[in-house]
Structure 1
Amino acid sequence: MIFVTVGTHEQPFNRLVKFVDELKEKGLIKEEVIIQTGFSTYEPKYCTWSKLFPYQEMVKNVASARIVITHGGPSSFIMPLQVGKIPVVVPRQKQFDEHVNNHQADFSKAVAERQGNIIVVEDMNELEKTILNYNAIVKAMPAALESNNALFNEKFEGIVDELLKERK
């Protein structure tokens, strides 16, 4: 299953919603697609959709999805990361009246460069390629992506072990 979320920003993100719906129509996407359309005015014809989902249903959809496609809002792409998914992030762009500026593109590119754990796609033609080659793209990403919390806990545990050894 593919889950798409465009967040709750009041400007439509028809470009993403319509593009994914068209990929489903053409048969390029064979699996089920669920889209959270937010304030988009385009209503998908070939995908299951809802303007909004309750948070627990969003989490369930993200956890069940093979691919999660989000807009560039941090809340939308951090949650998939928290459940172990590598999200495809399609930032809203000012030139298409999807947002007031291009901060989503700037921010998501910075996260991709620093963390290496999201796939940023600004061009819809690249989105099609990304969806069709998602598994290979993810497999080629650095396997050793570790959270700072895990590294901190590991180092802290080592310090505690050393302190306890010294006391004996």
Structure 2
Amino acid sequence: MIFVTVGTHEQPFNRIVEYIDNLKRDGKIHDEVFIQTGYSTYEPKYCKWSKLIPYSEMEKNVADVRIVITHGGPASFIMALQVGKIPIVVPRQLDFNEHVNNHQVEFSMKIAERLGSIIPVVDIEELAETIKNYDYIVADMKKSIGSNNKNFCSDFEKIVQELY
């Protein structure tokens, strides 16, 4: 199964919702697909969908599916990383009136460069090929992120022990 989330930003992200729906229609996606469409105005015809879903359902979907496709909001792709999934990240773009600027493009590219644990897809025309080759692409990628809380506590404990 493939889970797609566009988050809760108030600008529609019709571009990804319609593109995924058309990939399913055209038989380029064989998996079952569920799309959380947010404030998008396009209503999928070939995929299951809901505008918004409870956080617990979001967590379950992310944990249970084969592929997670998200917008470039960090909360969405970090959730996938925390359960050991490598998300495909399609950032919202100013040129398509999906956000107020291109910070999602810049941020997702930096995260991919620094951590190597997400697959950014800036040109949506590359999404079908990325989905098709997903298992091959992720084979050698880092599948999770470390906990900053755990690192902080460990470093803090060392400092406290040095003081004594």
What's the TM-score, normalizing by structure 1? 0.86
| CA deviation string 1:117-166 (max 9, x = no partner) | 000001112111100000000003257x662669959x88xx9xxxxxxx
1:94 aligns with: 94
Moved >6 Å (runs of 4+): none
Q: Counterpart of 1:140 in 2: which secondary structure?
A: coil
Q: Counterpart of 2:139 in 1: which secondary structure?
A: helix
Tell me the CA shift for residue 31 of structure 1: 1.1
In 2, Cα distance between equivalents of 1:124 and 1:46: 19
1:162 aligns with: none
Q: Which amino acid aligns with 2:131?
A: I
Q: How does 1:57-136 map to 2 (within 5 A)?
A: 57-136=57-136
Q: Counterpart of 1:61 in 2: which secondary structure?
A: helix
In 1, Cα distance between equivalents of 2:142 and 2:37: 32
2:37 aligns with: 37
Q: Which amino acid aligns with 2:80?
A: P
* Cα RMSD, aligned residues only: 2.1
Q: How many residues align?
A: 156
In 1, Cα distance between equivalents of 2:14 and 2:77: 19
Larger radius of gyration: 1
2:146 aligns with: 147
| CA deviation string 1:73-115 (max 9, x = no partner) | 0111111111111000000000000000000000111111111
Q: Counterpart of 2:27 in 1: which secondary structure?
A: coil
In 2, Cα distance between equivalents of 1:148 and 1:62: 18
What's the TM-score, normalizing by structure 2? 0.88
Cα contact 2:5–2:35 (8 A) shared by 1: yes
Q: Gaps (5+ residues) in structure 1?
A: 160-168
In 1, Cα distance between equivalents of 2:150 and 2:53: 34
In 1, Cα distance between equivalents of 2:148 and 2:6: 28
In 2, Cα distance between equivalents of 1:11 and 1:146: 29
